[in-house]
Amino acid sequence: MLEIKIGNLFLKNPFMPASGTFGSGLEYEDFGDLSELGAVVTKGVSLKPKVGNKPPRIYELPSGMLNSIGLENVGIDKFTDILNQLKAYKTNIVVNFFGNSFEEYIEVSKILDEHNVVSCLEMNISCPNIKEGGICFGTDPHVIYSLVRNVKKVTKKDLWVKLTPNTGNIVSIAKAAENAGASAIVIANTYTGMKVDIETQKPALGNIFGGYSGPAIKPITLYHVFCCVREVNIPIIASGGIFNIEDVLEYLIVGAKAVQVGTANFTNPCILWDLIKDLKDYLIKKNLNIYDLIGSIKL
């Protein structure tokens, strides 16, 4: 009843965690059976270990949170041990990865391609291109086309491209990723923002600015999903501010085929399992199949 297909992947249901908010997945073993999720999406990994940004790295706001973790991770070599532990679960393992240059993206993709446990690669393009003066990869359609094409050359696995919303042309970026061979688009990462402590007159985050996530971003990301669904033919996976079943239904109705839950995992670590049940109950009550719902918006 909840099964969906995204590219070459079959998912038991459209629910998965958003990268960076669910650890490797193993940290959530005590809260529910990972095998029941549509997929597990792991925290972003890079070629070399990364220490991340200076603290404070998190600031809670009434309608969301700012984070400037800075993509801290153990690097691809150590990450392999984690992958081996994830083998125990009967679900899709989606590995989120990033680089600071084309070469780094390609090198990590090559390594991940060799691991059977990896079902699919999710490419985070909200990163600075160090060689090009630190401009974010994800803001230029030409750069994205070339990056996706080059990564596709070194992997047989499905490639999902996770877009940044911090651009004026998200539809062009989505189209560029599709034309270059992406299997799906994930919309979207966090919105750049900041907070100032009025007593000290200093930025609340050590890195000055960070990524804003949570309920406040949902209407904006929903709009981006709505716009992109009309322009691309590959599946769209929504990520932004999902806290309850109504949020999930809105994303499916505008045309997302699956959803990723991020910040909400911090307030309710069981939310993914709760939402699976809620969607099942909703479909039974309305006598609908999930595909009746996807893209059913009436304008």
Q: Which residues bind ligand FMN (CB under 6 A)?
A: 18-21, 43-44, 67, 69, 71, 96, 124, 162, 189-190, 213-214, 217, 239-242, 261-264
Minimum CB–partner distance for residue 70 and ligand FMN (Å)? 9
Please give the Cα distance from 241 to 282 (Å, whole number): 20
2 φ/ψ angles, rounded to the nearest 5 degrees: -105, 0
Cβ proximity of 227 and 188 under 8 Å: no
Three-state DSSP at 115 gives: coil
Minimum CB–partner distance for residue 186 and ligand FMN (Å)? 7
Which residue has the closest beta carbon to ligand FMN? 20
Minimum CB–partner distance for residue 99 and ligand FMN (Å)? 12
Active-site residue flag, 127 = yes
Q: Classify 20 in phi/psi space as left (phi over 0), alpha (psi -120 to 50) or beta.
A: left
Which one, of 112, 64, 106, 82, lies nearest residue 22 by Cα? 82
Minimum CB–partner distance for residue 191 and ligand FMN (Å)? 9
Please give the Cα distance from 46 to 74 (Å, whole number): 8
Collect all residues with Cβ–Cβ distance below 8 Å to 170 and sequence separation of at least 6: 163, 187, 188, 224, 227, 228
Cβ proximity of 26 and 91 under 8 Å: no
Pick 25 or 44: Cβ nearer ligand FMN: 44
Please give the Cα distance from 246 to 279 (Å, whole number): 9
Number of other CB atoms surrounding residue 33 within 10 Å = 11
Minimum CB–partner distance for residue 199 and ligand FMN (Å)? 25
Selecting among 120, 127, 136, 228, the annotated active-site residue is 127
Which one, of 36, 48, 27, 30, lies nearest residue 3 by Cα? 36
Pick 69 or 201: Cβ nearer ligand FMN: 69
Pick 49 or 292: Cβ nearer ligand FMN: 49
Pick 59 or 89: Cβ nearer ligand FMN: 59
Largest CA distance in the chain: 56
Partners of 128 in beta bridges: 136
Minimum CB–partner distance for residue 40 and ligand FMN (Å)? 13
Pick 44 or 255: Cβ nearer ligand FMN: 44
Pick 67 or 129: Cβ nearer ligand FMN: 67
Q: Sheet of 39-45: strands edge to edge?
A: 15-17, 258-261, 236-239, 184-187, 158-163, 120-124, 92-97, 39-45
Question: Which residues are the active-site residues?
Answer: 127
